[in-house]
Amino acid sequence: MASASRRARAAAAARLAVGVATTLFGLVLVTFVIGRMMPIDPVLAVVGDRASAATYAAERAEMGLDRPLPVQVWRYLRALAAGDLGTSVVTARPVIEDIGRYFPATIELATVALALGLALGVPAGVIAAAHRGRWPDQVIRITSLLGYSMPAFWLGLILLLVFYAELGWAAGPGRIEVFYEDLVTPVTGLLLIDAPLDGEWVILGNALAHMALPASVLGLFSMAYIARMTRSFMIEQLGQEYILAARAKGLSEARVVWRHALGNALVPLLTVVALAYGSLLEGSVLTETVFAWPGLGSYLTNSLFNADMNAVLGCTIVIGLVFLGLNLLADLIGSLLDPRVE
């Protein structure tokens, strides 16, 4: 019986590995082909507009672009298998190093935004469900709808104009003031951690000030999503028979709602949170652009404009892996919280 269970687990792990590999392969292949079909010449990003034909041809050959497409794909995959994502033509550094530099900025922003989203979204969703059809529900639903449908770049610009340009309450674009750059020793790449580790409290304050507006924009977006989904899961739970039984036992309404119903809504909510975190990590491109936030989104956009395909492919793979990883993590935690989930 135990060995059958082990075999089943091994088979599930193998299926998962094949699924991940196939997804990544498909992702790389599609991105590679689209990249080569783009109407931008990647050699231009390296040699500039005025290079002689000889210089241009030499660089094109060095980049391997004179080879047939299948050969280019094969060479890329071979290097990828060895953990080499290639070199960015824009930064002239290994893509893996660039990602190591830019991704922490995105993680930091997304994590703070998610924390805001969770802190506001879950209680809002629970309250809306508990007061279904009444004014708190209406207020929360309208707020969520607004948060979900408002374009992030527009909201970002408005917040910048009001809180930075007009009122001067918040710091402006960027991660920190440029004259504080290069003063913190990078350990994790997360300024909110590295600055206090280095005893740079002024820089921590500056980093927090710069974080406020972009994190609020993204936080509002995730709050709206989490609140809507929490409300929906809670309404479903509050209609279950065990809730009726709990109320019949004389439990307080707060205990019924916050402990029993919310406890059971947590499992599907975890997947929602994982997805929200995933979209914050890859979907904050516009917010990063508006706030000049030096994250993966900005790096990806810049790379796309320069047809820097190694960088684009590297980012695509990382984002794909993050999505797969977060979904897997949500499944694992879900199975821990609810033994019925395999």
Partner 1 sequence: MIESRRALRRFRRPAATAAAMFAVLAAGDAAAATPRSVLVMAKSLDDLITLDPAEVFEFSGAEITANLYLRLFRPNPDDPAKPLGEAVSSWRASADSLSFEFEVRDRLPFASGRAMDAHDAVFSLRRAVALNKAPSFILTQFGLSGDNVGERVRALDDRRFTITLDRAYAPSLVLNALSAGIASVVDREAVLANADGDLGEGWLRNHAAGSGAFSLRRWQPGEYLLLDANLSYWQGPPALKRVAIRDIREPSTQRLLLERGDVDMARNLGPDQLAAVDGIDGIRLLVVPRARLFYLALNQKRPPLDRPAVRKALRYLVDYQGIAERLLGPAARVHQAFLPQGFLGALDDRPFDFEPERARGLLSEAGLAGGFEVRLDVRSDPIALRLAQVVQATMAEAGVRIEIVPGSAKQVLTRYRARRHELFMGQWGPDYLDPHTNASTFARNPDNGDGAAERTLAWRNGWEIPELTARADAAVLERDPARRARLYQELQREVQADSPFIVLFQENEVIALSDRVEGFAAGITADQTSYHGLRK
Residues in region 86-145 near partner 1 by CB under 8 A: 89-93, 101-102, 115-116, 119-120, 122-124, 126-127, 130-131, 134, 136
Stretch that binds partner 1, among 29-37, 74-82, 143-151, 207-215 (CB under 8 A): 207-215
221 vs 299, beta carbon nearer partner 1: 299
Dihedral (Cα; 160, 166, 169, 174), 10-degree rounding = 40
- Please report whether residue 244 would count as binding partner 1 according to CB under 8 A: no
* Cα atoms found within 13 Å of the Cα of residue 89, Cβ hemisphere only: 24
- 281 and 319 Cβ atoms separated by less than 8 Å: yes
The C-alpha angle with vertex 164 and arms to 158 and 166, in degrees rounded to 5, equals: 80
What phi and psi, each to the nearest 5 degrees, are found at residue 94?
Answer: -55, 140
4 vs 178, beta carbon nearer partner 1: 178
One of 114, 170, 195, 272 touching partner 1 (CB under 8 A): 170
- Cα separation, 198 vs 186, whole angstroms: 9
Stretch that binds partner 1, among 19-27, 65-73, 296-304, 316-324 (CB under 8 A): 296-304
Q: How far is CA 171 from CA 63, 214, 260, in A?
A: 41, 10, 42
Give the count of residues interacting with partner 1 (CB under 8 A): 79
**Least CB distance to partner 1 at residue 10 (A):** 42
Q: What is the DSSP secondary-structure string of 276-320?
A: HHHHHHHS-HHHHHHTT--SHHHHHHHHHHTT-HHHHHHHHHHHH
Strand partners, 94: 87
What phi and psi, each to the nearest 5 degrees, are found at residue 87?
Answer: -115, 140
6 vs 259, beta carbon nearer partner 1: 259
- Please report whether residue 151 would count as binding partner 1 according to CB under 8 A: no
Residue that has been written with the tokens 């439990």 in this structure: 251
Alpha carbon 162 to chain centroid, angstroms: 27
Terminal-to-terminal C-alpha distance of the chain: 17
One of 74, 154, 169, 242 touching partner 1 (CB under 8 A): 169
41: amino acid identity, one letter:
D
Which two structure tokens, joined as six digits, stand for 233? Answer: 């899961």
**Least CB distance to partner 1 at residue 156 (A):** 11
One of 202, 328, 336, 337 touching partner 1 (CB under 8 A): 202
316 vs 323, beta carbon nearer partner 1: 316
- Please report whether residue 62 would count as binding partner 1 according to CB under 8 A: no
One of 209, 235, 286, 329 touching partner 1 (CB under 8 A): 209
Q: Is 300 helix (H, G, I), strand (E, B) or coil?
A: helix
- 125 and 140 Cβ atoms separated by less than 8 Å: yes
Residues 6+ apart with CB under 8 A from 193: 187
- Please report whether residue 306 would count as binding partner 1 according to CB under 8 A: yes
Residue 178 is given by DSSP the state G
**Least CB distance to partner 1 at residue 292 (A):** 6
Stretch that binds partner 1, among 8-16, 24-32, 201-209, 271-279 (CB under 8 A): 201-209
One of 65, 73, 143, 163 touching partner 1 (CB under 8 A): 163
One of 24, 47, 193, 197 touching partner 1 (CB under 8 A): 47
CA torsion sign for 191, 193, 196, 201 is positive
Residues 6+ apart with CB under 8 A from 12: none
One of 37, 70, 254, 342 touching partner 1 (CB under 8 A): 254
22 vs 252, beta carbon nearer partner 1: 252
One of 107, 113, 215, 322 touching partner 1 (CB under 8 A): 215
- Which string of x and - marks every residue 262-291 that binds partner 1 (by CB under 8 A)? ---------------------------xx-
One of 44, 80, 96, 190 touching partner 1 (CB under 8 A): 44
